[in-house]
Amino acid sequence: MRIDILTIFPDFFGVLDISLLGKARERGIIELGVHDLRDYTHDRHRTVDDTPYGGGAGMVMRPEPWGEALDATLTPETVVIVPSPAGVPFTQAAARELAQEKHLVFTCGRYEGIDQRVIDYAADTVRVREISLGDYVLNGGEVATMAMIEAIGRLVPGVVGNPESLTEESHENGLLEYPSYTKPSTWRERSVPPVLLSGNHKAIADWRYEQQLERTRRVRPDLLPDGE
Ligand SMILES: COC(=O)c1ccnc(N)c1
């Protein structure tokens, strides 16, 4: 998979050289390109924004630099991801789908957003997904992009050492994950649930599923399958 990020804060993504994705990049599983949108401006001040038509507070990102940046980056198989509070809620299922794609381009908007014609222009030739991390506003798309790259990147085949570890996580089976424990078996007078020490794999699996249901009922009843 190749990921390209278009942003006015390229240094923000230095952290992607470390962590899991750093190793995936070393192994050539994921290629990453971070591009400074200002490299696609031609004025002395490298201007990327201007006042909104129709008035109102704040500034809007100019279409010209975005157009040139997209022209230099898009391929026919690209999926453009626009982090936006006005987008479709991001889910584990979406992360799983996007992890199968060959090329993702993240467009990090700032200010009051990107001139709408840029999104419409891209949508004429490639798939565009406006995606929200939740019902709140950030100052720019960079933090959301980082979160999505981590959620997607870890699902790209070959990135995580033991794919088994991906199957029992929150939201993988639609439910929240069960509680986890490790040594010591008693800590500050709190003991590990005895079933986990029983060696009875079926009893452990049943207990874990029941814990998923209980936690999902309590915290996220909206995720419960009908009848549970
Ligand atoms: C500028 O981007 C945002 O404010 C944003 C992006 C993705 N999800 C959100 N909830 C906000």
The answer to whether 30 and 24 have CB atoms below 8 angstroms apart is yes
Q: Is 145 in the pocket of ligand 1 (CB under 6 A)?
A: no
ipTM for the assembly: 0.99
Question: Which candidate, 196, 199, 153, places its Cα nearest to that of 17?
Answer: 153
In this structure, are strands 103-107 and 78-89 parallel, antiparallel, or unpaired? parallel
Q: Is 135 annotated as a binding residue?
A: yes
State the chain's mean pLDDT as an integer: 95
| Ligand 1 atom at shortest distance from the alpha carbon of 110 | 1
CB under 8 Å to 112, separation ≥6 — which residues? 52, 56, 57, 58, 59, 60
Write the residue with the smallest CA distance to atom 4 of ligand 1. Answer: 138
> Could you tell me the pTM of the whole model?
0.94
Cα gap 197→17, rounded to integer Å:
39
Pocket test for ligand 1, best of 137, 143, 145 (most atoms within 8 A of CB): 137
Over the stretch 105-139, which tens digit does the pLDDT of each residue have?
999 999 899 999 999 999 999 999 999 999 999 99
Question: Which candidate, 163, 12, 22, places its Cα nearest to that of 96?
Answer: 163
Query: Binning pLDDT at 50, 70 and 90, where does residue 164 land?
Result: confident
Q: What is the DSSP letter of 93?
A: H
Q: Is 138 in the pocket of ligand 1 (CB under 6 A)?
A: yes
Structural domains present in the chain: 2-162 (3.40.1280.10), 168-223 (1.10.1270.20)
Q: Is 133 annotated as a binding residue?
A: yes
Q: Please report which helix (H) or strand (E) contains residue 123, including its range.
A: helix 116-123
